[in-house]
Chain A
Amino acid sequence: MEDHLIVEHLVKVYERGKVLALNDISFRVPKGQFLVLIGLSGSGKSTLLRCINRLVEPTSGRVIFDGVDITRLHHRALRLVRRRIGMIFQQFNLVKRATVLQNVLSGRLGYVPTWRSLMGRFSREDLERAKRALERVGLLDKMYVRADQLSGGQQQRVGIARALMQEPELLLADEPVSALDPATSHSVLKYIEEINRDDGVTVLCSLHFLSLARRYGQRVIALKAGKIVFDGPPSEIDDERFKEIYGEEAEQVEVR
C-alpha cells in the first residue's frame, strides 16, 4: 500500500534544556493504519506527534505527508496541510468558557476565510457539518452547553468532533485517554477506531497502557529516550520486549 506518512531521520533538540527529545526517528505509515506509539513519559511521543503538524519545529529530518515535505512549508501552505491533519489532546484543549458548538466550529477555521471567521459567521453547511460531527460522538444534546460543564469523556468527544470538522486524512492523538478512567477510555478510543475504520483515516495515537495498545493498535512503535526501540505488530511484544521498553522494574498493568 502507498505510504501516507513518511518520517525520515527526525531529530528534535530542545535548546533551552539541551534535551535530545527525538534522536533520528524514521518510519513509514501506510494509508489507513492505526498506529500506536508507546513509551515512558518523556520518551518523545508528544514531541514526535507535534513535529508531524509542526506545532513543534523539528531540528532536522523530514516529514512527508501525502508526498509533501511538511518541514519545508511556510505560512499558508503549512496551514493548508494542517487542516488535513486532525489532532486531539491529552488535556482536551477546549476553550472552557465557550460553548460546545463554538469549540467544534473552530475545527473548521482552516477552511473559512479569515475575514469571515473573525466576524464569527460560519456558513450553513459548516453548521450542519458541526451537527453531524456532534451526532456522531453522541453529544448533539450538548450543543449549546459550555465546554467546562461536560465530563472528561464528553470533553474529549468534543475534541474528536472538532477534529472531524477538518475532515482529516490523518488523525494525531496525543494520549487521548490518559486523563480519563478506564471505562471512558474505551468509549473514546472506540470513536477513534470507528473513524479509522469507517472513514479510512490514518491514526497515530500515543497511549500509556500496553493493554490498550494491544486492543486497538494494528502496529506499535515504542520510543525510549527519543529512539525507536520496537516497531511491529502488538502481538510481538512479549515480557522481554516489555522490559526493554519500560525498564527492568516495570510491571504490566491491565486496563480492560
Chain B
Amino acid sequence: MARKPNRSRSVEPAISAKAIITSFFLDWLFWGYFAYVVVYLLNYYWYTVYVDWYGKLVLPAWAWPVAVGGTFELAALCHALGHSLGVKALGLRWERTGPRVKLLHLLGLNGALLLGAGAFALVYFGACRIHGLPPALGREAAMGLGAVLGLVVVLGAMVFFSRAVPGLVLAPLPSPDKWTAPPPRWYRTLWGLMALGLFLLIMILGWHVTDASLKRLGNMVKTAYLWKALATPDFQHLLHPDPWLNQSILQGLIQSIFMALLATVFGAAFAFPLSFLGARNIMNFNPLARATYYFTRGVFNVFRSVESMLWATIFAIWIGWGPFAGTMALFIHTIAALGKLYSEQVEHIDPGPVEAVTATGASRLEVVRYAVIPQIVPSCLALTFYRWDINVRMSTVIGLVGGGGIGRVLFYYKQNTMWHQVGAVILTIALVVWALDYISGRVREGMV
C-alpha cells in the first residue's frame, strides 16, 4: 500500500523561528548582492559615478541607508509572500494553509510599519540628542542603531503577519507527494535558474570580451564588390599555369591533396605505435608506465596546440618554402592529433578480451597484439580517413606561410586582390573538399 502523503507536516516551532531568521538574512544577503550587481552593471553601461577605478562600489552617504533599507524591504516582502530563496537554501519550503495574502495589504502594512520604524528612529535619535544616550555613540551611529531597531520591528511584524494571516508554515523541502508529482521543468528549479543566470552572465561577458558589435555587422555593404567578384569566378588559370605563380589552380590542388595524403599516411604510421603509450588502460602496470602515459599525452597535447601554421613557418625556414615544408607541418600535427584520437580508441576498448588473453599466459605485447589491436583497427582507419579530409582543408591555410599547394595560389590571388581568381580557387577547393568528405564518409560507413 502506498504511503498516504501527510500534508500538514510542519517544522517544529523552535526550528521554525531559527529557520525563519536565518533564511531571512540569506534573502537579505541575496538581494544585497543582487543590488550590487545591478548597480555595477548600470555603471558599466552608463558610467555613473558609483563604481570607482578599481571596480569597488562607491555610494554617496544617502544611498547606503536606501540600499540597506531597500534590500531589507525586498527580503521581507519575499519572505512574507512565501517566495524565499533563503528558505529553499535551508532545505525547507513555505506551505500555505490559508488564502493567498494580497500584495496590496502587505504593502500597506509594510508602509505603515516603515513609518512607524522611521518615527521610532527619530524618537530614539531625539532621545539620544537630549539625554546623550548612549554617550559613546556618534550622531550617525545613533541614527543607524535607531533605524536597525526599527527594521527589526518591521521584520518581526511582517513575519508575524505572514504566519498569522495566510497561515504560511515551514515544511521540509521535498514535498510529501514528490513521488507522484511530476518533476518540475528544469527552468523552474533552483539549479536550473542559477545555471541559466550564470550562462547569461557568461554570454554577456563573452560579448564584451570578444568586442562583438551588431552595429559593425551592418557595414556589410562595403563588401558588395567582393561578393560580386567572388560570384563571377575566373577560371582562366584552372588548367593553364599562371605565369607569375608558375602553377595552375589544378596543379596546386593536386599538390595539396598529395601533401595531405603523405602527411596522413606517415603521421598515422608514427601515431599508431605511440598511441599505446598514451593510453591509460595499457600504461598502468607500474609507475614508470604511468609516467610514460602522462609524458606521451603531454607531448601530444603540446604538439597539437602548436598551430600547424607555426609548424609550417618553422619548416619553411628549416627546409625552405614549398610543398615539402607544408607536408612536414601537417605530418607533425597529424601525429599529435591522430595519436590522441587513437589513444582514446585504445582506452575505450572492451576490457574483456584483454582479461581473457592475459589469462592464457600471454605477455603484455601479445595482449596488445591479440586483444587490443583487433578491436581498434577499424575505428582507427576511419579516423585516419577523416584526418586526411581535415589535412586537405588545413593545407589551404598552410600555403599562407610558405607551405605550397593550393594555399599558395589562394593567398597570392588574395594578396593581389584578384577576387575573380580567388572565387575560382575557393570554388574548386569547395568541390574537392565536398567530394573527399563524401568519399571518406562512405568509407567510414563501410568500415565501422
- Which residues on A are within 8 Å of B, measured CB to CB? 53, 55, 79-87, 89, 91-98, 102, 106-112, 114, 117-118, 120, 159, 162, 165-166, 172
Contacts and interface: CB of A to CB of B under 8 A. Distances in A.
Task: Enumerate the 4 nearest inter-chain pairs by beta-carbon distance, A residue then B residue, closest first.
Answer: A110-B361, A83-B361, A93-B352, A109-B362
Nearest to B376: A97
A93 B361 contact: no
Contact of B365 (A80, A111, A118): A118
B370 A53 contact: no
Contact of A85 (B359, B370, B374): B359
Nearest to B366: A109
A89 B356 contact: yes
B363 interface: yes
Contacts of A95: 353, 370-371, 374-375
Interface in B332-355: 350, 352-353, 355
B374 A108 contact: no
A98 B366 contact: no
A91 B374 CA distance: 18
Contacts of B356: 87, 89, 93-94, 106, 159, 162
B376 to A, nearest CB: 9
A94 B361 CA distance: 16
A150 B135 CA distance: 95
Contacts of A53: 359
B363 A82 contact: no
Contact of A97 (B358, B362, B378): B378
B375 A89 contact: no
A251 B361 CA distance: 40
Contacts of B377: 97
Nearest to A112: B366
B246 interface: no
A110 B356 CA distance: 12
Nearest to A92: B352
Interface string B358-388: 1111110110011100110110000000000
A106 B362 contact: yes
A148 B377 CA distance: 16
Nearest to A106: B370
Nearest to B369: A118
Given A95-B353, A97-B378, A98-B374, A106 B360 contact: yes
A97 B370 CA distance: 11
B353 A87 contact: no
A205 to B, nearest CB: 15
Candidate in B371, B375, B377, B378 with the most chain A CB atoms within 10 angstroms: B371
Contacts of B371: 95, 106
Given A83-B360, A107-B360, A117-B370, A91 B365 contact: no
Given A82-B361, A107-B360, A108-B360, A97 B355 contact: no
Nearest to B357: A106
A80 B166 CA distance: 81
A93 B365 contact: no
B362 A79 contact: yes
A152 B352 CA distance: 15
Nearest to B378: A97
A116 to B, nearest CB: 10
A93 B362 contact: no
B377 to A, nearest CB: 8
Contacts of B374: 95, 97-98, 102
Contact of B366 (A97, A114, A159, A162): A114
B142 to A, nearest CB: 61
A106 B361 CA distance: 10
25 contacts: A53-B359, A55-B358, A79-B363, A82-B359, A82-B360, A83-B360, A83-B361, A86-B360, A87-B359, A87-B360, A89-B352, A89-B355, A93-B352, A93-B355, A95-B370, A97-B378, A106-B370, A109-B362, A109-B366, A114-B363, A114-B365, A120-B369, A159-B356, A165-B360, A166-B360
B334 to A, nearest CB: 25
A206 B369 CA distance: 30
A93 B366 contact: no
A196 B370 CA distance: 28
A118 to B, nearest CB: 5
Contacts of A98: 374
Nearest to A87: B359
Contacts of A166: 360-361
Nearest to B370: A106
Contact of B353 (A79, A94, A112): A94
Point out which of A82, A87, A93 has the most chain B C-beta atoms below 10 A from its C-beta: A93
Contacts of B366: 109, 112, 114, 117-118
Given A109-B357, A111-B361, 8 more contacts: A82-B359, A83-B361, A89-B356, A94-B352, A97-B374, A97-B378, A107-B360, A117-B369
Nearest to A53: B359
B103 to A, nearest CB: 54
Nearest to B352: A93
Contact of A55 (B359, B362, B363, B369): B359
Contacts of B375: 95-97
A163 to B, nearest CB: 8
Contacts of A108: 360
Contacts of B363: 79, 109, 114
A92 B350 CA distance: 12
Contacts of B378: 97
A192 to B, nearest CB: 16
A166 B361 CA distance: 9
A83 B358 CA distance: 9
A105 B352 CA distance: 17
B406 to A, nearest CB: 38
A81 B370 CA distance: 20
A97 B375 CA distance: 6
A162 B359 CA distance: 11
A97 B352 CA distance: 13
Which has the most chain B C-beta neighbours within 10 Å: A55, A159, A172? A55
Nearest to A108: B360
B352 A91 contact: yes
Contacts of A82: 358-361
